[in-house]
């Protein structure tokens, strides 16, 4: 069965308004709360790996990629393995290429000066919300930027607390915060699936990612799952 293609974006140029920014902040604020303990955990672990508080805070300000930042700590020692570190970061963040391509029909119509800061804070959570909104007809890019800003601010706040006094909190994973993002993204994907056939690429991608978890270096299993899911989706559309 051939799936009907999604309608193209409206010919009306996209907007970037204060109201859209505020909508993004409000919509993702509940999720941002759970970014704080992860930031605290990063600040604590970074300190144990030899990073100073200033270094870990600046790292979080400039990078904002929790999974990649945690992975780079494994290479942070006397002699930094820059090649391995770069490969790990590229592998873990390669999913941003896929998310950027999915948002391109809307984001690429923005002026470059607005586009760059908007996508600089792209992550799994605000992509899921913004992409669904844009497909539904929304055209205010402030939703994407505002949601990214609130998540980034929460991460920075946590990183600062963790770098300065994080050891007093113990292990944040003991509170179960590590499953919040998984539950959030699962709920978003479930809401976007309108027909049972659309579950096929989701299931295939997830299965491949899990099965290759211990076969590939950190992050590469996610890339394998993405390619497998895309291939399954393409076969359904054929």
Each residue of 29-55: pLDDT tens digit?
999 998 888 888 888 888 877 788 898
Query: How many CB atoms neighbour CB 148 within 10 A?
Result: 25
Q: Assess whether 207 and 155 both reside in one domain.
A: no
The pTM of the full predicted model, rounded to 2 decimals, is: 0.71
* Domain containing residue 229: 194-238
Q: Which residue has the tokens 């292990």?
A: 171
- HSE-CB at 56 with a 13 A cutoff on CA atoms is 30
- Mean pLDDT confidence for 158-171: 80
Please write the tens of the pLDDT for every residue from 90-111: 777 777 888 899 999 999 998 9
The whole-angstrom separation of Cα 212 and Cα 129 is 28
Per-residue pLDDT of 188-201, as tens digits, reads 566 666 667 677 88
Cα separation, 57 vs 125, whole angstroms: 22
Query: Does a structural domain hold residue 3?
Result: no
| Residue 1, domain member (yes or no) | no
| Count of the separate structural domains present in the chain | 2
For residues 165 and 131, membership in a common domain is answered with yes
Contact 24, 144 (CB under 8 A): yes
> pLDDT at position 148, please?
94
pLDDT of residue 2: 43
What is the mean pLDDT of the segment spanning 170-174?
63
- 30's tokens: 């509940």
Same domain, 37 and 62: yes
- Determine the Cα–Cα distance for residues 156 and 57; give it in Å rounded to an integer: 7
Q: Are 164 and 42 in contact (CB under 8 A)?
A: no
Helix (H, G, I), strand (E, B) or coil at 78: coil
Do 152 and 181 lie in one domain? The reply is yes
């Amino acid at each position: 069965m051939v799936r009907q293609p999604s309608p193209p974006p409206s010919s009306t140029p996209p907007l970037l308004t204060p109201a859209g920014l505020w909508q993004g902040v409000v919509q993702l604020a509940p999720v941002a709360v759970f970014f704080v303990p992860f930031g605290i955990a990063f600040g604590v672990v970074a300190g144990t790996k030899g990073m100073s508080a200033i270094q870990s805070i600046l790292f979080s300000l400039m990078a904002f990629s929790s999974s990649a930042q945690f992975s780079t700590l494994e290479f942070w020692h006397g002699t930094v393995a820059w090649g391995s570190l770069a490969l790990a970061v590229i592998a873990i963040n390669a999913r941003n290429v896929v998310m950027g391509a999915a948002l391109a029909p809307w984001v690429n119509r923005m002026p470059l000066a607005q586009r760059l800061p908007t996508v600089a804070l792209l992550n799994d959570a605000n992509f899921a919300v913004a992409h669904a909104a844009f497909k539904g007809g929304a055209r205010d890019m402030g939703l994407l930027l505002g949601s990214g800003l609130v998540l980034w601010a929460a991460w920075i706040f946590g990183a600062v607390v963790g770098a300065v006094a994080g050891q007093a909190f113990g292990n944040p994973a003991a509170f179960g915060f590590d499953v919040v993002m998984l539950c959030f993204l699962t709920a978003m994907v479930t809401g976007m699936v309108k027909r049972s056939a659309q579950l096929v690429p989701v299931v295939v991608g997830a299965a491949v990612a899990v099965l290759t978890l211990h076969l590939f270096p950190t992050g590469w299993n996610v890339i394998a799952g993405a390619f497998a899911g895309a291939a399954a989706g393409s076969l359904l559309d054929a």
